[in-house]
């Protein structure tokens, strides 16, 4: 049984073997290797030739329940060299261009007839003729380009074509719901058809039970080969034993879909067959042991590089880099991998939840995708390099209180899109004036003057269409408001209302006076109740207040964008990765907790050892360990043990006191040096001085606490010594002779 569920699928197991090992070429290329390493050895060394790859992969597949075999045969130079530079890029980049949905024209019963086409047929014919000529020229250039590319990609002639020895894996149908036989190229992990032209012939196949020699003609490669291993005319087996034959026949019947039962005579091996059975020796391979650390590390030295057609793919193990990158796909415009055009990077376990970053080198645009969990709920971020280039931010709208789903910022515009809001707001667009040019350094925090702000609202079915705002334009520069209401289903035009701000609208010392010239109304429904002058006056005052609030929201959106830029810069500089609480190998808190538990256990053990210390042993050894002592000698031993304990306690206290005074003297000298050189010190020197002072104060605090604790425990330990001496039987009768 395999230790990881991912290895139970043939494609995942093949990918793991291809990533886990370093490939070594056969030397010479037209001869079989003289030594076949065991899968255990190959796993330990993480390197091997094609036979080592195939042998290890076949072992995993058989353990996962597949009917797999190691194939010894011949292949092309590209397969033998693991040359994938002519294969297309397997990692297709995401298309970030917004997809324009084509609106389907609905055929209505009543439609406006289009105007009559007055175009000359001759002009149309000549125009189409020119278009056809242009298209033919494009096709010709494209065909020439395709021929040029095909000539570049055409492999050079191989002098060893047809005799290059190679090994791969054959998977037969019947087990694990495999519908048909197929090859697996172990060096890349790719599945291949059994008639693939890159495989030129098969000499033999084998598994853990037997070896079959191919008796078929391979002059046309593997295209016409049959893989019924029970057909002795096509496959000659090496070892014969009855259990294998029964299993082979049964497997063959199941593969063909038959349900016939074997006769009892066919099921029972004959005496003659039994005598020919060969008992194979037990496996010489130790159990395959893939540790969790090796499985997660995956690649040799935790990284591996592949080359495809105009593409370089770099794979990294999780936690092997500071930024958490696990995949980097670099696409080039040339075959020499010099002109970089596109870079795709995938990350894992990042604190900023960054999952994918794509950089279009030609347009200098960056596309970033984030997982849920950020404080700003950012989902996608598209931006270019520069202070005020186009920037698109897409958010997880369900996680945001304001329902913001998309924000699009350019040099002169800032547009927000909302969804599922209680006030039915769907759209807010602010148009700015260009920043005023000033002499001196540019001020990034200077706010752009606002020309207008436009808000659009969804239909509120609880209100009349003539009273439900559809679009509200705050024309700040023109000092007016333009309101467009939703169109009623019975009318072809919506109602509109325009308010002009009076000249003294922002003067707090004057009261705004109403004037009929301050508003202009178009009412689509004449039967709808008109607003009174008083209502119009308060409506204008409300719009003036709303304008101030809307401007604040726009400025807040600008601040959020600037904060996002600075936050992203800080997140890129930070190298901390998220570590699961269950990952005890990388979780520092878990390590500290386990270390504290170990220290506590060691402390308990040390206390127990101290409690069991024989204080009289060295003094009894000094007088020859007599069997009995008199009262006077017993009193001397007691006093000697007490005196020795006091001396050791005093020496320890003096040592800590001396260390404490030395630290104080060193700190004072540092402070004097700082006072002397403070004026000419740089910022880095001041930070270093502060760090040294903090460390010195920390050491002083530790020494002070240790000295204090030593004084507190000295009395307690002395009382324990007294109790131990009073209870020691060697200081009592009958050990003492009077």
**Would you place residue 716 in the very low, low, confident or very high pLDDT band (cuts 50, 70, 90)?**
confident
Q: Which of 321, 326, 317 shows the shortest CA–CA distance to 292?
A: 317
pLDDT higher than 60, residue 255:
no
pLDDT of residue 114 exceeding 70, the answer is yes
- For residue 306, report the phi and psi dihedrals to the nearest 5 degrees: -125, 155
Residue given tokens 């389907």 in the structure block:
104
> In whole angstroms, how large is the CA radius of gyration of the chain?
43
pLDDT of residue 440: 53
Kindly report, residue by residue over 564-584, the tens digit of the pLDDT. 988 988 888 887 788 887 777
Number of neighbours of residue 710 by Cβ within 10 angstroms: 16
Q: Provide DSSP, 5-30.
A: GGGGSHHHHHHHHHHHSEE---SSTT
368 contact partners, CB below 8 Å, separation of at least 6:
354, 356, 357, 358, 380, 381, 382
- Whether residue 355 contacts residue 342, with contact meaning beta carbons closer than 8 Å, is answered with no
5-90+158-239 — its CATH code?
A: 3.10.620.30
Q: Of 251-265, 447-461, 522-536, give the range with the top mean pLDDT.
A: 447-461
- By the 8 A CB rule, do 49 and 56 touch? no
Buried b (16+ CB within 10 A) or exposed e, 430-454: bbbeebeeeeeeeeeeeebebbbbb
Instruction: For residue 72, name the pLDDT band (cuts at 50, 70, 90).
Output: very high
- Helix and strand numbers (H, E) in the chain are 14, 27
Quick one: average pLDDT of 448-453? Answer: 92
Give the mean pLDDT of the chain: 84
CA distance 26 to 48: 10
Mean pLDDT of 50-66: 94
pLDDT band at 269 (very low <50, low <70, confident <90, very high): very low
Minimal CA–CA distance to 21: which of 57, 54, 41, 47?
Answer: 47
> Residue 371 gets which letter from DSSP?
-
Give the contacts of 591 (CB within 8 A, at least 6 positions apart). 584
CB 81 within 8 A of CB 167: no
β-strand pairing of 404-409 with 67-75: unpaired
Question: From CA 407, how far away is CA 728, in angstroms rounded?
Answer: 84
Question: pLDDT at position 441, please?
Answer: 56
Entry field: residues in the chain? 738
* pLDDT class of 165 with cuts at 50, 70, 90: very high
pLDDT band at 549 (very low <50, low <70, confident <90, very high): very high
Say what the pLDDT of residue 262 is. 34
Question: Under the phi-then-psi rule, with left for phi > 0, alpha for psi from -120 to 50, and beta for the rest, what region is 439?
Answer: beta
Of the two residues 638 and 247, the one the predictor is more confident about is 638
In this model, does residue 259 exceed pLDDT 70?
A: no
pLDDT tens readout for residues 358-407? 999 998 899 999 999 999 999 999 998 765 678 999 999 999 999 999 99
Backbone phi, psi, residue 354, to 5°? -65, 125
Tell me what percent of the residues of the chain surpass a pLDDT of 70.
Answer: 87
Q: Tens digits of per-residue pLDDT, 326-343?
A: 999 999 988 888 999 999
CA 230 to chain centre: 48
Per-residue pLDDT at 107: 52
- The more confidently predicted of residues 529 and 243 is 529
Q: Dihedral of the CA atoms 475, 478, 479, 485 (nearest 10)?
A: -40
pLDDT per residue over 285-344, tens digit each?
Answer: 888 888 888 888 899 988 999 999 999 999 999 988 988 999 999 999 888 889 999 999
Average of pLDDT values for 26-53?
Answer: 92
Question: HEC profile for 589-634?
Answer: HHHHHHHHHHHHHHHHHHHHHHHCCCCCHHHHHHCCCCCCEEHHHH
Residue labelled with tokens 């490939």: 23
| pLDDT (0 to 100) of residue 530 | 81
CA separation for the pair 714, 719 (Å, rounded): 9
The three-state secondary structure class of 419 is coil
Predicted confidence (pLDDT) at residue 257 exceeds the cutoff of 70? no
**DSSP-assigned letters across all residues of 351-390:** TT-EEEEEEETTTTEEEEEE-TT-TT-EEEEEEESSTTS-
The pLDDT of 646-653, averaged and rounded, is 89
What pLDDT score does 508 carry? Answer: 64
Q: Is the dihedral of CA 275, 276, 277, 281 positive or negative?
A: positive
Residues 212 and 234: their CA atoms lie apart, in Å, by 9
Q: In the block, which residue shows the tokens 């125009």?
A: 127
Structural domain boundaries in the chain: 5-90+158-239, 393-436+445-558, 613-737
> pLDDT-derived band of residue 111, with 50, 70 and 90 as boundaries?
low
Residue 411: asked if its preceding bond is cis (omega within 30°), the reply is: no
Confidence check: pLDDT of 244 > 50: no
Whether the pLDDT of residue 6 is over 80: the answer is: yes
The predicted model gives 436-448 an average pLDDT of: 64
Output the CA–CA distances (angstroms, integers) from residue 372 to 353, 383, 551, 644, in the order listed: 7, 20, 30, 67
Alpha carbon distance 495, 472 (integer Å): 12
Mean pLDDT within 450-467? 92
For residue 264, the model assigns a pLDDT of 39
Instruction: Check whether 146 has a pLDDT greater than 70.
Output: yes
Task: Please report the pLDDT score of residue 438 as a whole number.
Answer: 63
Give the model's pLDDT for residue 388: 61
3-state secondary structure of 314: strand
Average pLDDT score over residue span 612-641 = 79
Higher pLDDT, 185 or 718: 185
Q: What is the mean pLDDT of residues 623-647?
A: 83
């Amino acid at each position: 049984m395999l230790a990881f569920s991912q290895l139970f699928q043939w494609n995942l197991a093949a990918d793991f073997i291809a990533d886990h090992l370093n490939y070594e070429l056969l030397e010479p290329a037209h001869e079989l290797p003289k030594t076949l390493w065991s899968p255990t050895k190959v796993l330990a060394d993480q390197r091997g030739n094609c036979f080592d790859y195939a042998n290890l992969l076949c072992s995993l597949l058989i353990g996962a329940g597949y009917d797999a075999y190691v194939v010894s045969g011949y292949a092309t130079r590209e397969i033998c060299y693991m040359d994938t530079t002519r294969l297309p890029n397997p990692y297709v980049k995401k298309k970030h261009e917004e997809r324009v949905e084509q609106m389907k024209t609905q055929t209505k019963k009543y439609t406006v007839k289009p105007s009559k086409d007055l175009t000359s047929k001759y002009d149309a014919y000549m125009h189409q003729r020119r278009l056809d000529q242009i298209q033919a020229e494009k096709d010709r250039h494209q065909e020439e380009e395709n021929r040029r590319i095909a000539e570049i990609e055409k492999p050079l002639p191989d002098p060893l074509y047809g005799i290059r020895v190679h090994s791969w894996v054959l998977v037969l149908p019947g087990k694990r719901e495999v519908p048909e036989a197929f090859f697996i190229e172990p060096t890349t992990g790719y599945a291949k058809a059994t008639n693939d032209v890159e495989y030129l012939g098969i000499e033999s196949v084998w598994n853990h039970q037997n070896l079959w020699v191919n008796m078929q003609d391979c002059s046309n490669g593997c295209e016409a080969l049959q893989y019924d291993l029970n057909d002795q005319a096509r496959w000659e087996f090496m070892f014969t034993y009855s259990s294998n034959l029964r299993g082979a026949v049964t497997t063959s019947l199941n593969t063909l879909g038959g349900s016939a039962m074997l006769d009892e005579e066919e099921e029972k091996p004959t005496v003659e067959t039994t005598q020919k059975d060969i008992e194979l020796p037990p496996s010489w391979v130790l159990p395959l042991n893939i540790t969790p650390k090796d499985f997660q590390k995956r690649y040799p030295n935790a990284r591996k590089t592949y080359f495809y057609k105009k593409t370089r793919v770099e794979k990294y193990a999780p936690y092997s880099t500071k930024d958490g990158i696990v995949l980097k796909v670099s696409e080039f415009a040339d075959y020499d991998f010099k002109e970089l055009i596109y870079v795709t990077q995938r990350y894992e376990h990042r604190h900023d939840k960054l999952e994918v970053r794509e950089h279009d080198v030609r347009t200098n645009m960056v596309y970033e995708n984030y997982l849920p969990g950020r404080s700003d709920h950012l989902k996608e971020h598209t931006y270019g390099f520069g202070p005020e280039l186009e920037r698109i931010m897409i958010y997880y709208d369900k996680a945001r209180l304001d329902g913001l789903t998309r924000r699009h910022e350019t040099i002169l515009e800032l547009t927000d899109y909302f969804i599922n809001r209680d006030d039915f707001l769907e759209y807010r667009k602010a148009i700015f004036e260009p920043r005023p040019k000033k002499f001196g350094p540019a001020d990034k925090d200077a706010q752009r003057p606002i020309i207008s702000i436009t808000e659009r609202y969804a239909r509120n079915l609880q209100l009349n269409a003539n009273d439900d705002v559809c679009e509200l334009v705050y024309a700040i520069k023109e000092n007016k408001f333009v309101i467009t209401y939703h169109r009623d289903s019975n009318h072809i035009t919506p109602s509109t209302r325009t308010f002009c701000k009076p000249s003294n609208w922002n003067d707090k010392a004057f009261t705004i006076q109403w004037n009929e010239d301050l508003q202009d109304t178009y009412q689509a429904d004449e039967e709808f109740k008109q607003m009174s002058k008083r209502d119009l006056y308060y409506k204008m005052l409300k719009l003036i207040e709303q304008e101030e609030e809307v401007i604040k929201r726009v400025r807040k959106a600008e601040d959020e964008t600037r904060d996002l830029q600075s936050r992203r810069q800080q997140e890129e500089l930070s190298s901390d990765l998220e570590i699961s609480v269950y990952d005890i190998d990388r979780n520092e808190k878990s390590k500290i907790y386990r270390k504290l538990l170990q220290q506590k256990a060691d402390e308990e053990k040390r206390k127990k050892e101290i409690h069991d210390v024989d204080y009289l042993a060295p003094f009894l050894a000094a007088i020859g360990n007599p069997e009995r002592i008199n009262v006077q000698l017993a009193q001397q031993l007691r006093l000697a043990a007490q005196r020795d304990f006091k001396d050791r306690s005093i020496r320890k206290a003096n040592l800590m006191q001396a260390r404490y005074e030395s630290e104080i003297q060193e700190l004072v000298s540092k402070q004097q040096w700082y006072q002397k050189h403070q004026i000419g010190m740089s910022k880095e020197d001041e930070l270093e001085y502060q760090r040294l002072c903090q460390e010195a104060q920390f050491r002083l605090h530790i020494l002070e606490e240790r000295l204090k604790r030593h004084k507190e425990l000295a009395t307690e330990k002395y009382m324990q010594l007294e109790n131990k001496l009073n209870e020691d039987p060697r200081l009592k009768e009958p050990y003492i002779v009077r």
